[in-house]
């Protein structure tokens, strides 16, 4: 079944409506919103990885004209509640400003408020903090060991989470397998680092008792968390969602920023804003991604069929417990990747260290896990002397096996992985690619082919929360849409979150246009503030095509049914005999007997005497949609349906490495992508291309490196290297469509596509290139300098031999 | 101190601190908020404006240094209220953006390229935007937008002299 011809607007290559405002510079970003009389915050940050705060002398700063306040952690923690954490770790409290002890270099110690940002920065330098440096620990494995330096003494250890799951007969399957292979890999600390930093403005009205908030956010439960931390009823926090977010890919969380400015605005009676500069963002913005050590062991037979896997993943989550330990939970929903591995043992460990706090990053921990699985599969093929692609094909779930239940309790909805791979090979020619690689090798270049096959779980209901923290019973993760047709017949729809470039206004317009058979451009899409909103869980986990698209579909369908019911009543025929086309309802057997859009709208808004008895007047419908398939708690064995929909991607890459410099270059990149029915091809293609670019960055360039003294070495874009147009090669995307049986149009998620497999594919290619030298590169990012040194050493050895 | 700025072919007299960057001056004093702060140390290019037609980082330049030059910001590119230049329209056609934060600077960098080179190669396009970081798109649809705009503008200008026409 394909979508072609099935839809009128869905899947057609339509423009993205948001683009018009951006190309003329009329986006409305948080820094563009400046309330009258706003004051500015700059931060005083700790220069040590761990230190006791002995004293804070604010006098010189406060003496500067234009400086109105200096807030410290003692005051703020006395007046607010600690920030919410995901796990049950009451002795690891997290405050926006350090209380007594600072636990990473860059942690906020005080917030200076002045009438200009420049002045606030000057005054921040005039705040004198006396520190007593404390012992610190940076390495995750070190922190995990008994007797390690404690980041939070009261917690008694550095371990936030250490759970081992066993799904299926792991030991039995290992014992029955003729071969075992153990492989360790590391995923380095990087993040998606949007070009816009995090920013927030808050304005408290003490007479209305209302806190207005404008923020650059992509985070579920933001109004709730803000209200709880500030000890306000949620009805006193009004978050404005009509703020364009300048990129996020998971990281724009910013609750701590919001608590600071929210408190200050209440305290001072003026609007207050905090727009991070880049250094504040890099070291104290709490947006670093996973830093994960994997130890993977697999059991397999002579044919390379993998029967069982044991995975240990230790994540260094930084100094405080945010939501980040849950990033070890999401991969449970795709712990075997696209493969038929029968049993799995999974140990998930989250430790605190004296590094910047980790937060959610694109794919929420799935991309590192995919990298670990894929690199292990490469090693299995190499061990058996099998072709890496052939070996994957033998292990992949086959089309006829869906829906497919994996050992950890999730059922994959649909897929045709072999077909996607065949399409990629038709595009790239695997034998040709191998011939090209070998030709390059013969010419003296290091060359390698990279392969990665992986899944994008999408649209879930946050089941990793109850899985990893039994005190949390979350099973609901809805999204909503409200549609109204006004009395002159125009359509307005609502969505209830900010967006960071995902084109949600286009999504909603397209879906409603499809259902009501009207031009999507005629559907206005607006974002009410949080007090006027229906529930939304924001664009996380590749969910909006499924969830917001689904909610818009159901609301539009209800509205269409209402129009049909009005027509049926007015024409005096049963509803079943009414047809609907292009906004007109007519008697199926006598199409001239009809009611036009204008007539139906007029009846609904003005002529209740012609409405079906008991029907609500007007034309306004809301729909709150649960995750497809509902939701349930994990069972006693830790099995749970984590996500309803699973997109598939297959990467095939040719990389060369300059043997003298160690500089990798991507010569060919072909990507097969299947996210079910595509609602907007331009958006899905862009997401995927962007995800590949992020993945290339994580694989080769980007790292939040720390020195031995515990200081972050990458605090600017001079040191944290972002791929430019030169580093991202042309990517050929081959499209395939296996609709999901669970969603309204067959769509699946695509917000994380590309990023899920690109790091694995690039690492696979680099390793294929250096394998003839007898070396392997098992940690990301693969920086030029380190790779160059490894290659030089290997060549020296070869010569020596 | 007072500075005379020629912005989008209009003269503005602005009272600035000597340390005020051109970026902050445009955004805070003149409310031209299409130029964006990204890194404020000259790497990301989100603050790009045109100075005498060349793409320049407004975060690395003081407002007082801009005195006497012709400054073009994104607000100066659209031909009329509610209208798009061919280049801006091409960015919409290929969806050469996502979040829109780097977009005004990308459009200006591309505008500077196309003003000098009506038929750029892929390499020349990549070069022209290589000082502008985009984290959303992986650049592909941006490169396509610029190539499409060049092609359309060449077509539109073919009967006339062709090169260097204002969009």
**Dihedral of CA A321/A327/A329/A330: which sign?**
positive
Given the DSSP bridges, would you call strands A179-187 and A128-133 parallel, antiparallel or unpaired? unpaired
CA distances from A131 to A45, A138, A180, A313 (A): 11, 19, 51, 35
Task: Using a CB–CB cutoff of 8 Å, tell me whether B137 touches chain A.
Answer: yes
Return the pLDDT at A262: 98
Query: Hey, are the CB atoms on A24 and B91 less than 8 Å from each other?
Result: no
Which of A28, A66, A197, A246 to mutate to test binding with chain B, by most B CBs within 10 Å of its CB? A246
Instruction: Answer yes or no: is pLDDT of A281 > 80.
Output: yes
Instruction: Answer yes or no: is pLDDT of A501 > 60.
Output: yes
> SS3 sequence, A372-432?
HHHHHHHHHHHHHCCCHHHHHHHHECCHHHCCEECCCCCEECCCCHHHHHHHHHHHHCHHH
Looking at every residue in chain B, the average pLDDT score rounds to: 94
Across the interface, of A682, A683, A689, the residue whose CB is closest to B138 is A689
Return the pLDDT at A158: 98
Given the DSSP bridges, would you call strands B48-51 and B54-57 parallel, antiparallel or unpaired? antiparallel
Helices (H), A58-145: 59-62, 73-79, 117-126, 140-144
Query: How many CB atoms lie under 10 A from the CB of residue A593?
Result: 16
- Contacts of residue A115 in chain B, CB cutoff 8 Å? none
Cα–Cα distance for residue pair A141/A138, rounded to 1 Å: 9
Instruction: Answer yes or no: is pLDDT of A390 > 50.
Output: yes
Return the pLDDT at A631: 85
Task: Using a CB–CB cutoff of 8 Å, tell me whether B15 touches chain A.
Answer: no
Query: Hey, are the CB atoms on A718 and B41 less than 8 Å from each other?
Result: yes
Return the pLDDT at A341: 98
Task: Using a CB–CB cutoff of 8 Å, tell me whether B79 touches chain A.
Answer: no
Residue A399 pLDDT grade (very low, low, confident, very high; cuts 50, 70, 90) = very high
Residue B158 pLDDT grade (very low, low, confident, very high; cuts 50, 70, 90) = low
CA distances from A419 to A398, A423, A648, B167 (A): 10, 6, 11, 45
Task: Using a CB–CB cutoff of 8 Å, tell me whether B99 touches chain A.
Answer: yes
Indicate the angle between helix axes A544-571 and A597-606, nearest 10 degrees. 80
HSE-up (13 A, CA, CB side) for residue A150: 12
Residues 105-134 in B contacting A (C-alpha not used; CB under 8 Å): 107, 126-127, 129-134
Residue B167 pLDDT grade (very low, low, confident, very high; cuts 50, 70, 90) = very low
Query: How many CB atoms lie under 10 A from the CB of residue A431?
Result: 9
Return the pLDDT at A630: 83
Token couple for A637:
């064995």
Q: What pLDDT, in 10s, does the model give residues B26-57?
A: 999 999 999 999 999 999 999 999 999 999 99
> In whole angstroms, how large is the CA radius of gyration of chain B?
16
Instruction: Answer yes or no: is pLDDT of A5 > 80.
Output: no
User: Is-contact A113 A67, C-beta < 8 A?
Assistant: yes
Across the interface, of B107, B130, B137, the residue whose CB is closest to A724 is B130
Instruction: Answer yes or no: is pLDDT of A1 > 50.
Output: no
- Contacts of residue B131 in chain A, CB cutoff 8 Å? 724
Query: Hey, are the CB atoms on A728 and B138 less than 8 Å from each other?
Result: yes
Return the pLDDT at B155: 85
Return the pLDDT at A465: 95
Looking at every residue in chain A, the average pLDDT score rounds to: 97
Return the pLDDT at A66: 98
Poorest-pLDDT segment among A430-434, A535-539, A627-631: A627-631
**Dihedral of CA A691/A692/A698/A701: which sign?**
negative
Query: Hey, are the CB atoms on B98 and A690 less than 8 Å from each other?
Result: yes
Query: Hey, are the CB atoms on B77 and A24 less than 8 Å from each other?
Result: yes
User: Is-contact A262 A80, C-beta < 8 A?
Assistant: no
Taking CA–CA distances from A20, the nearest residue in chain B reads B92
Query: How many CB atoms lie under 10 A from the CB of residue A756?
Result: 31
Region A717-740 average pLDDT = 98
Query: Hey, are the CB atoms on A501 and B98 less than 8 Å from each other?
Result: yes
State phi, psi for B145 to the nearest 5 degrees: -60, -45
Taking CA–CA distances from A754, the nearest residue in chain B reads B138
Query: How many CB atoms lie under 10 A from the CB of residue A713?
Result: 12
Query: Hey, are the CB atoms on A731 and B74 less than 8 Å from each other?
Result: no
Q: What pLDDT, in 10s, does the model give residues A557-577?
A: 999 999 999 999 999 999 999
Residue B165 pLDDT grade (very low, low, confident, very high; cuts 50, 70, 90) = very low
Cα–Cα distance for residue pair B22/A52, rounded to 1 Å: 40
Closest of B42, B122, B11, B141 to residue A23, by C-alpha: B141
Query: Hey, are the CB atoms on B131 and A502 less than 8 Å from each other?
Result: no
Query: Hey, are the CB atoms on B100 and A27 less than 8 Å from each other?
Result: yes
Residue A798 pLDDT grade (very low, low, confident, very high; cuts 50, 70, 90) = confident
DSSP A208-242: TTEEEEEE----TTHHHHHHHHTT--GGGEEEE--
Instruction: Answer yes or no: is pLDDT of B105 > 80.
Output: yes
- Contacts of residue A26 in chain B, CB cutoff 8 Å? 34
Helices (H), A473-624: 504-516, 544-571, 597-606
Q: What pLDDT, in 10s, does the model give residues A215-274?
A: 999 999 999 999 999 999 999 999 999 999 999 999 999 999 999 999 999 999 999 999
Burial class of residue A119 (count of CB atoms within 10 Å of its CB; 0-12, 13-18, 19+): buried
Cα–Cα distance for residue pair A546/A461, rounded to 1 Å: 12
Return the pLDDT at B157: 62
Task: Using a CB–CB cutoff of 8 Å, tell me whether B77 touches chain A.
Answer: yes
Poorest-pLDDT segment among A91-95, A103-107, B83-87, B154-158: B154-158
Cα–Cα distance for residue pair A40/A639, rounded to 1 Å: 48
Which stretch of DSSP H or E encloses residue A437? helix A430-442
Across the interface, of B34, B91, B126, the residue whose CB is closest to A19 is B91
- Contacts of residue A731 in chain B, CB cutoff 8 Å? 138, 140
DSSP B29: I
Given the DSSP bridges, would you call strands A343-351 and A306-316 parallel, antiparallel or unpaired? parallel
Cα–Cα distance for residue pair A717/A131, rounded to 1 Å: 29
Q: What pLDDT, in 10s, does the model give residues A158-205?
A: 999 999 999 999 999 999 999 999 999 999 999 999 999 999 999 999
Cα–Cα distance for residue pair A430/A438, rounded to 1 Å: 12
Output the CA torsion A537→A539→A545→A548 (10° steps). Answer: 40
Cα–Cα distance for residue pair A275/A199, rounded to 1 Å: 4
ipTM over 0.90: yes
Query: Hey, are the CB atoms on B137 and A686 less than 8 Å from each other?
Result: yes
DSSP A115-167: SSHHHHHHHHHH-EEEEEE------HHHHHSTTPPPSSGGGSSSEEEEEEEEE
Return the pLDDT at B162: 45
Query: Hey, are the CB atoms on A245 and B34 less than 8 Å from each other?
Result: no
Region A753-761 average pLDDT = 98
Which stretch of DSSP H or E encloses residue B49? strand B48-51
Instruction: Answer yes or no: is pLDDT of A801 > 80.
Output: no
Instruction: Answer yes or no: is pLDDT of A546 > 80.
Output: yes
Return the pLDDT at A339: 98
Q: How far is CA A157 from the centre of its chain?
A: 29
Given the DSSP bridges, would you call strands A523-526 and A491-494 parallel, antiparallel or unpaired? parallel
Query: Hey, are the CB atoms on A194 and B131 less than 8 Å from each other?
Result: no
Return the pLDDT at A2: 38
Query: Hey, are the CB atoms on B37 and A31 less than 8 Å from each other?
Result: yes
Task: Calculate how close chain A gets to B67, using CA atoms only, in Å.
Answer: 22
Across the interface, of B74, B77, B126, the residue whose CB is closest to A725 is B126
Region A614-621 average pLDDT = 98
The model's pTM: 0.97
Task: Using a CB–CB cutoff of 8 Å, tell me whether B30 touches chain A.
Answer: no
Token couple for A756:
């899920």
User: Is-contact B131 B112, C-beta < 8 A?
Assistant: no
User: Is-contact A241 A265, C-beta < 8 A?
Assistant: no
Query: Hey, are the CB atoms on A19 and B134 less than 8 Å from each other?
Result: no
Query: Hey, are the CB atoms on B38 and A196 less than 8 Å from each other?
Result: yes
Q: Which residues touch A795 (CB under 8 Å, ≥6 apart)?
A: A659, A773
Cα–Cα distance for residue pair A425/A670, rounded to 1 Å: 9
Across the interface, of B20, B95, B102, the residue whose CB is closest to A19 is B95
Cα–Cα distance for residue pair A653/A445, rounded to 1 Å: 16
């Amino acid at each position: 079944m394909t979508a072609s011809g099935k839809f009128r607007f869905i899947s057609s290559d339509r423009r993205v409506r948001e683009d018009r405002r951006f190309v003329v510079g009329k986006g409305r970003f948080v820094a563009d919103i400046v309330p009258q009389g706003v004051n500015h915050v700059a931060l005083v940050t700790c220069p040590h990885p761990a230190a006791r705060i002995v004293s804070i002398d604010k006098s010189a700063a406060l003496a500067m004209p234009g400086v109105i306040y200096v807030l410290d952690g003692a005051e703020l923690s006395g007046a607010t509640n600690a920030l919410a954490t995901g796990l049950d770790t009451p002795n690891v409290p997290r405050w926006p400003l350090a209380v007594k002890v600072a636990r990473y270099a860059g942690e906020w110690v005080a917030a200076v408020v002045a009438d200009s940002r420049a002045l606030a920065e000057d005054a921040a330098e005039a705040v004198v903090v006396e520190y007593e440096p404390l012992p610190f620990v940076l390495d995750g494995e070190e922190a995990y060991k008994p007797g390690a330096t404690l980041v939070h003494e009261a917690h008694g250890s550095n371990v936030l989470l250490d759970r081992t799951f066993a799904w299926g007969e792991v030991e039995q399957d290992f014992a029955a397998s003729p071969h075992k292979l153990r492989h360790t890999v590391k995923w380095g600390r990087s993040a998606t680092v949007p070009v816009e930093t995090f920013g927030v403005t808050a304005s408290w009205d003490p007479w209305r008792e209302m806190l207005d908030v404008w923020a650059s956010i992509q985070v579920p439960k933001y109004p709730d968390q803000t209200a709880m931390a500030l000890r306000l009823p949620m009805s006193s926090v009004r978050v404005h969602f009509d703020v364009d977010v300048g990129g996020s890919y998971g990281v724009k969380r910013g609750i701590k920023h919001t608590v600071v400015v929210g408190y200050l605005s209440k305290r001072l009676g003026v609007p207050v804003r905090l727009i991070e500069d880049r250094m504040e963002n890099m070291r104290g913005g709490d947006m670093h991604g996973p830093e994960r050590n994997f130890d993977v062991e697999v059991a397999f037979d002579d044919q390379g069929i993998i029967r069982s896997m044991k995975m240990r993943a230790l994540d260094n989550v930084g100094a405080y417990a945010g939501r980040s330990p849950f990033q070890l939970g999401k991969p449970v929903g795709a712990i075997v990747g696209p493969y038929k591995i029968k049993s799995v043992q999974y140990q998930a460990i989250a430790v605190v260290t004296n590094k910047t706090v980790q937060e959610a990053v694109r794919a929420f921990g799935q991309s590192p896990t995919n990298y670990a699985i894929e690199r292990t599969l490469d090693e299995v093929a190499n061990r058996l002397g099998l072709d890496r692609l052939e070996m994957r094909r033998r292990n992949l779930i086959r089309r006829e096996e869906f829906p497919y239940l994996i050992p950890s309790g999730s059922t994959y909805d649909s897929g045709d992985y072999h077909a996607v791979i065949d399409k990629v090979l038709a595009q790239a020619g695997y034998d040709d690619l191998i011939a090209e690689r070998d030709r390059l090798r013969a010419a003296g270049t290091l060359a390698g082919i990279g392969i990665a096959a992986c899944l994008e779980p999408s649209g879930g209901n946050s089941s990793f929360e109850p899985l990893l923290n039994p005190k949390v019973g979350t099973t609901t993760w809805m999204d909503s849409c409200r549609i109204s047709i006004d009395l002159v017949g125009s359509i307005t729809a609502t969505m209830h979150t900010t967006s960071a470039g995902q084109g949600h206004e286009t999504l909603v317009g397209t879906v409603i246009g499809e259902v009501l058979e009207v031009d999507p451009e005629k559907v206005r899409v607006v974002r009410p503030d949080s007090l006027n909103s229906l529930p939304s869980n924001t664009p996380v986990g590749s969910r909006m095509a499924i969830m917001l698209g689904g909610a818009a579909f159901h609301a539009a369908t209800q509205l269409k049914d209402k129009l049909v019911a009005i027509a049926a009543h007015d024409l005096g025929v049963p509803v079943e005999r009414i047809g609907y086309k292009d906004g007109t309802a007519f008697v199926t057997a006598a199409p001239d007997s009809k009611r036009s859009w204008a007539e139906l709208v007029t009846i609904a808004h003005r002529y209740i005497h012609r409405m079906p008895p008991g029907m609500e007047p007007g034309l306004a419908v809301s729909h709150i949609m649960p995750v497809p398939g509902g939701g349930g708690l994990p069972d006693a064995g830790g099995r749970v349906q984590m996500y309803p929909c699973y997109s598939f991607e297959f990467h095939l890459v040719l990389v060369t490495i300059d043997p003298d410099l160690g500089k990798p270059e991507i010569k060919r990149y072909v990507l097969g992508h299947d996210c079910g029915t595509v609602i907007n091809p331009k958006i899905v293609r862009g997401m995927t291309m962007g995800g590949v670019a992020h993945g290339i960055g994580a694989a080769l360039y980007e790292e939040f490196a720390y020195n031995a003294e515990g200081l972050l070495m990458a605090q600017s874009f001079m040191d944290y290297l972002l791929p430019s147009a030169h580093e991202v090669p042309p990517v050929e995307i081959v499209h395939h469509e296996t609709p999901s049986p669970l969603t309204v149009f067959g769509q699946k998620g695509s917000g994380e596509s590309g990023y899920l497999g690109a790091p694995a594919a690039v690492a696979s290619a680099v390793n294929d290139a250096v394998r003839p030298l007898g070396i392997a590169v098992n940690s990301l990012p693969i920086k030029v300098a380190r790779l160059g040194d490894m290659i030089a050493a290997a060549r020296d050895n070869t010569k020596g031999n | 101190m007072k500075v005379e700025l020629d912005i989008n072919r209009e003269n503005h007299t602005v009272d600035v601190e000597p340390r005020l960057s051109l970026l902050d001056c445009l955004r805070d004093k003149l409310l031209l908020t299409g130029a964006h702060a990204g890194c404020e140390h000259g790497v990301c290019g989100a603050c790009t404006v045109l100075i005498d037609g060349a793409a320049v980082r407004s975060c690395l330049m003081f407002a007082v240094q801009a005195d006497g030059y012709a400054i073009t910001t994104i607000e100066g590119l659209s031909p009329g209220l509610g209208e798009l230049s061919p280049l801006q329209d091409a960015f919409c056609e290929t969806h050469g953006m996502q979040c829109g934060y780097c977009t005004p600077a990308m459009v200006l960098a591309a505008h500077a390229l196309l003003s000098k080179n009506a038929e750029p190669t892929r390499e020349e396009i990549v070069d022209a935007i290589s000082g502008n970081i985009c984290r959303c798109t992986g650049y592909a649809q941006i490169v396509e937008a610029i190539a499409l705009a060049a092609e359309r503008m060449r077509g539109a200008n073919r009967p006339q002299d062709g090169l260097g026409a204002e969009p």
